[in-house]
């Protein structure tokens, strides 16, 4: 028997950063995101020898040890260990014996929510195996608590909910920890046009998102007006972009992305750099009407809105920077689990 799961990565179209505490606790947050057909995968094979094996194929890491109630959090494969430890604790289970293999279609630090999506996929696999009573909101909340509270990793809430629910969602975050996921019903031709016109470009760089996020959190705590006002604007733009997509007014998407990018850069130091600025400027010169970096910033993936037939010229122009445009499609399905 093998238990499998997969959860989709996401593009943060607008509002990213407003889902991060303490901003979301004080002012409330709003994010528009969309999942794509790039995934985090987890496979569990039960064992009966009182041993645990955890393997990350993409990171080329392997842990092996005895079955115990709590695995040591030591900087290696902590996301998987954190899920295991929380499940054993919450459900008062005896130590489990298994082999778990994981793989993510995008590298860590790429800005597509890889870490949170992996936690969701691993939690989904354990939930399928152990028949845990977790609904979608329960799954996303527990994924968030494992990563942010148990493991102390800085970040927001949107990634866990995007990976669990899938599709294009407008998400609202409130001060009591309440999250509301509003799925958008979008006509296929609008979704197809949106996918055709948004180029996903990998810069072949990565960054430690927690450093940027902690700077952002510090700015909110200290009352830095420029940073806080930028987040207010990003929240407003998430609402505007939601309305544009629902009404099929895609000609405004580039402009909204451009405004989002200008405000995003004011949230914290390190979101952009000279190379990112140069890539952005050349993409606009080649025909893109707007874009932004995906995730916290500093590297990873960027995406650009390219109306008409401009995508081909933009892709050609971006080749000079050593990255590559990645093929993708939007997906409507979130976390999936099965046993075979």
Give how far the C-alpha of residue 227 lies from the chain's centroid of Cα atoms, to the nearest Å.
Answer: 22
Q: Tell me if 89 is assigned to some domain.
A: yes
pLDDT recorded at residue 212: 84
Mean pLDDT of 155-178: 94
Q: Tell me if 296 is assigned to some domain.
A: yes
Q: Tell me if 261 is assigned to some domain.
A: yes
Give how far the C-alpha of residue 94 lies from the chain's centroid of Cα atoms, to the nearest Å.
Answer: 32
Q: Domain ends where: 161, 185, 209?
A: 185
Q: Tell me if 340 is assigned to some domain.
A: no
205, pLDDT greater than 80: no
**pLDDT tens, 84-109?**
999 999 999 999 999 999 999 998 88
Based on the domain organization, do 74 and 159 belong to the same domain? yes
Based on the domain organization, do 280 and 320 belong to the same domain? yes
What amino acid positions are annotated as catalytic residues? 159
- Please state, in angstroms and rounded to a whole number, the distance separating the CA atoms of residues 294 and 75: 25
Phi and psi angles of residue 52, each rounded to the nearest 5 degrees, phi first? -125, 130
Q: Tell me if 242 is assigned to some domain.
A: yes
Q: For the domain that residue 11 is a member of, what is the CATH number? A: 3.30.230.10
Based on the domain organization, do 254 and 144 belong to the same domain? no
Q: Is the pTM of this model over 0.85?
A: yes
Q: Which residues contact 120 (CB under 8 A, 6 or more apart)?
A: 7, 40, 139, 140, 143, 160, 163, 164, 335
Based on the domain organization, do 237 and 152 belong to the same domain? no
pLDDT recorded at residue 208: 67
Task: Tally the C-alpha atoms within 13 A of residue 257's C-alpha that lie toward its C-beta.
Answer: 29
Q: Tell me if 337 is assigned to some domain.
A: no
Based on the domain organization, do 27 and 134 belong to the same domain? yes
207, pLDDT greater than 80: no
Between the CA of residue 315 and those of 302, 322, 327, what are the distances in Å?
Answer: 12, 11, 11
Q: Is 202 helix (H, G, I), strand (E, B) or coil?
A: strand
Cβ distance 140 to 119 under 8 Å? Answer: no
pLDDT recorded at residue 127: 98
**pLDDT tens, 313-322?**
999 999 999 9
115, pLDDT greater than 90: yes
Phi and psi angles of residue 192, each rounded to the nearest 5 degrees, phi first? -65, -40
Based on the domain organization, do 116 and 192 belong to the same domain? no
179, pLDDT greater than 90: yes
Higher pLDDT, 154 or 181: 181
**pLDDT tens, 27-74?**
999 999 999 999 999 999 999 999 999 999 999 999 999 999 999 999
**How many domains does the chain contain in total?**
2
Based on the domain organization, do 72 and 130 belong to the same domain? yes
296, pLDDT greater than 90: no
Based on the domain organization, do 89 and 7 belong to the same domain? yes
Mean pLDDT of 135-159: 95
Q: Give the pLDDT band of residue 332 (cuts 50, 70, 90).
A: very high
Q: Domain ends where: 158, 185, 212?
A: 185
Q: Domain ends where: 151, 185, 219?
A: 185
Cβ distance 10 to 116 under 8 Å? Answer: no
pLDDT recorded at residue 176: 81
Q: Which residues contact 320 (CB under 8 A, 6 or more apart)?
A: 282
Based on the domain organization, do 153 and 269 belong to the same domain? no
164, pLDDT greater than 90: yes
- Please state, in angstroms and rounded to a whole number, the distance separating the CA atoms of residues 333 and 143: 18
Q: Which residues contact 49 (CB under 8 A, 6 or more apart)?
A: 97
* Domain containing residue 164: 3-185
76, pLDDT greater than 70: yes
Q: Give the pLDDT band of residue 177 (cuts 50, 70, 90).
A: confident
Based on the domain organization, do 93 and 173 belong to the same domain? yes
Based on the domain organization, do 116 and 42 belong to the same domain? yes
- DSSP-assigned beta bridge partners for residue 102: 42, 56
Q: Tell me if 157 is assigned to some domain.
A: yes
pLDDT averaged over the chain? 94
Based on the domain organization, do 43 and 106 belong to the same domain? yes
Q: Tell me if 302 is assigned to some domain.
A: yes
Q: Give the pLDDT band of residue 215 (cuts 50, 70, 90).
A: confident
pLDDT recorded at residue 171: 98
Q: For the domain that residue 321 is a member of, what is the CATH number? A: 3.30.70.890
């Amino acid at each position: 028997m093998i238990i499998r799961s997969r959860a989709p990565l996401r593009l943060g179209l607008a509002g990213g950063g407003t889902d991060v505490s303490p901003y979301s606790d004080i002012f409330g947050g709003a994010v528009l995101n969309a999942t794509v057909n790039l995934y985090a995968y987890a496979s569990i094979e039960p064992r009966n020898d009182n041993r645990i094996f955890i393997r990350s194929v993409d990171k080329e890491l392997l842990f092996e040890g005895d079955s115990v109630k709590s695995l040591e959090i030591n900087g290696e494969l902590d996301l998987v260990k954190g899920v295991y430890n929380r499940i054993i604790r919450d459900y008062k289970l005896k130590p489990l014996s298994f082999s778990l293999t994981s793989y993510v279609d995008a590298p860590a630090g790429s800005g597509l929510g890889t870490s949170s999506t992996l936690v969701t996929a691993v939690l989904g696999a354990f939930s399928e195996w152990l028949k845990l009573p977790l609904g979608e909101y329960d799954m996303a909340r527990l994924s968030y608590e494992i990563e942010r509270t148990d493991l102390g990793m800085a970040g927001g809430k949107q990634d866990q909910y995007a990976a669990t629910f899938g599709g294009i969602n407008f998400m609202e975050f409130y001060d009591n920890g309440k999250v509301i996921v509003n799925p958008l019903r979008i006509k296929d031709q609008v979704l197809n046009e949106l996918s055709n016109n948004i180029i996903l470009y990998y810069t072949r760089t990565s960054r430690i998102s927690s450093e940027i996020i902690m700077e952002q959190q510090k700015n909110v705590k200290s009352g830095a007006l420029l940073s806080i006002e930028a987040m207010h604007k990003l929240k407003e733009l998430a609402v505007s972009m939601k309305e544009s997509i629902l009404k099929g007014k895609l000609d405004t998407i580039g402009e909204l992305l451009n405004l989002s990018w200008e405000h995003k850069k004011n949230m914290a130091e390190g979101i952009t750099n000279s190379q990112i600025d140069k890539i952005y400027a050349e993409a606009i010169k080649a025909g893109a009407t707007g874009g932004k970096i995906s995730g916290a910033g500093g590297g990873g993936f960027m995406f650009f809105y390219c109306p008409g037939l401009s995508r081909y010229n933009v892709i050609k122009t971006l080749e000079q920077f050593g990255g590559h445009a990645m093929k993708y499609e939007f997906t409507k399905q979130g976390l999936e689990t099965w046993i075979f």
